């Protein structure tokens, strides 16, 4: 189904804009980033359900004050100047609190889920865009046979693209809040299997949460964590890095999905944050439970979880779960992107020819 929104063709469910931008490489990434930065994305999503079950930390931090601070408050320089994260937490909130919105399985209603997946969206998302991304991810997971509840973790990620430092800091600060949500979920539902899934800058929230869980030391390892198009530098996950021990101790398996055509984290991110992001591939000296997944059929950063363009079908395969008995029939036909010098993809298995 294709309809018109603000003159842009939109396909159900998701974003058709990228299909147009495929024809304007190498300008696709900056144009797409500009669209998301301007807040137009909220008009593009087909579904933005207000009743989506989620934990939310929106409004917990003083984003305006953080934006005006020229250094990272709890970084080396900020700490020397006497700044701390506590100075930026809004009144009535703490480093670890979160809001539960709508019917989150294991928190609301009767019974406990056997398994639950928490999706952390990425950057440049207002409240409505966050709902759209979470709904789109749930659609992708369910249509590929994932039978367990999917809930979201939404955070203050609505900054223009020029404010990378602000977004990166907020993502890291939200890790302890996600960790507290996960720990409380496990506390309330002994034996529940928890999976974390992040997209783009959401991986900074995810890894920070694993570190916070490691510091707590009272939660059993999570079933899995999956990173799509991650922005965290690969050195931070390599052995001896900031998050390496947390990855080893707090999750059974961590899957890192990346595409060689991700110009967002491969070419543009290093201009403001030098290094090599996980979205360009994992570290050579990775923890033993770190699994690198290069998906050559995904055409860009923004398509990682879009139907027909992304890799959610492979993500679900990693889980090795039995699909729901009444799960919808899933098409195995995925569009092939082999233009602009990209590696031809076999329609049979999605691997290079």
- The pLDDT value recorded for residue 41 is 75
- The pLDDT value recorded for residue 4 is 40
Sign of CA dihedral 128, 134, 137, 141: negative
Give me the residue label for tokens 């398996």: 253
Phi and psi torsions of 324, nearest 5°: -60, 145
- Cβ neighbors of 271 (< 8 A, separation 6 or more) are none
DSSP secondary structure string for all residues of 41-59: GGGT-S---TT--EEE-TT
DSSP secondary structure string for all residues of 111-169: S--SEEEEEE--SSB-HHHHHHHHHHHHHHHHHTT--S-EEEEE--B---TT-HHHHHH
Helix (H, G, I), strand (E, B) or coil at 100: strand
Residue-wise pLDDT tens for the chain (353 aa)?
444 433 333 344 335 566 666 666 677 777 777 777 666 677 677 788 999 999 999 999 999 999 999 999 988 898 889 999 999 999 999 999 999 999 999 998 778 999 999 999 999 999 999 999 999 999 999 999 999 999 999 999 998 888 999 999 999 999 999 999 999 999 999 999 999 999 999 999 999 999 999 999 999 999 999 999 999 999 999 999 999 999 999 999 999 999 999 999 999 999 999 999 999 999 999 999 999 999 999 999 989 998 888 999 999 999 998 876 654 443 333 333 333 233 333 333 444 33
Residue 102 Cα distances to 29, 53, 99, angstroms: 35, 5, 10
Whether the CB-CB separation of 311 and 337 falls below 8 Å is answered with no
Whether the CB-CB separation of 128 and 48 falls below 8 Å is answered with yes
In this prediction the pTM is 0.86
| Pair type for strands 290-294 and 254-258 | parallel
Where do the domains of the chain lie, and which CATH numbers do they carry? 48-60+97-319 (3.40.50.1820)
- Cβ neighbors of 124 (< 8 A, separation 6 or more) are 33, 36, 37, 41, 157, 158, 159, 160, 161, 167
Measure the CA–CA gap between 196 and 12, rounded to whole angstroms: 26
In the chain, the largest separation of any two C-alpha atoms, in whole Å, equals 59
Centre a 10 Å sphere on the Cβ of residue 94 and count the other Cβ atoms it contains: 12
- The pLDDT value recorded for residue 33 is 74
């Amino acid at each position: 189904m294709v309809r018109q929104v603000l003159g842009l063709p939109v396909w159900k469910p998701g974003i058709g804009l990228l299909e147009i931008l495929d024809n304007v490489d190498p300008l696709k990434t900056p144009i797409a980033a500009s669209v998301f930065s301007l807040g137009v994305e909220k008009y593009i999503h087909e579904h933005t359900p207000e009743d989506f079950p989620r934990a939310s930390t929106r409004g917990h931090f003083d984003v305006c004050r953080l934006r005006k601070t020229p250094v990272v408050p709890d970084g080396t320089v900020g700490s020397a100047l006497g700044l701390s994260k506590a100075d930026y937490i809004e009144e009535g909130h703490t480093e670890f609190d979160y809001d539960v919105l709508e019917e989150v399985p294991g928190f609301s209603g009767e019974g406990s889920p056997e398994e639950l997946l928490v999706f952390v969206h990425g950057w440049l998302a207002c409240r409505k865009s966050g709902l759209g991304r979470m709904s789109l991810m749930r659609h992708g997971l369910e249509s590929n046979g994932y039978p367990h509840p999917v809930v979201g973790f939404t955070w203050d990620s609505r900054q223009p693209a020029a404010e990378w430092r602000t977004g990166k800091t907020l993502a890291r600060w939200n890790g302890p809040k996600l960790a507290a949500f996960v720990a409380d979920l496990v506390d309330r539902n002994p034996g529940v299997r928890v999976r974390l899934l992040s997209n783009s800058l959401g991986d900074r929230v995810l890894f920070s949460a694993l570190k916070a869980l490691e510091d707590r030391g009272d939660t059993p390892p999570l079933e899995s964590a999956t990173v799509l198009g991650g922005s965290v530098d690969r050195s931070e996950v390599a052995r001896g890095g900031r998050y390496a021990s947390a990855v080893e101790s707090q999750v059974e398996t961590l899957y890192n999905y990346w595409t060689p055509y991700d110009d967002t984290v491969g070419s543009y991110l290093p201009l403001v944050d030098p290094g090599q992001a996980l979205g360009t591939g994992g570290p050579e000296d990775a923890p033993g439970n770190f699994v690198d997944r290069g998906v050559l059929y995904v055409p860009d950063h923004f398509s990682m979880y879009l139907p027909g363009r992304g890799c959610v079908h492979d993500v679900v395969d990693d889980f090795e779960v039995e699909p729901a008995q009444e799960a919808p029939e899933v098409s195995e036909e995925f569009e092939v992107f082999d233009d602009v010098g990209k590696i031809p993809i076999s329609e049979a298995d999605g691997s290079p020819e």
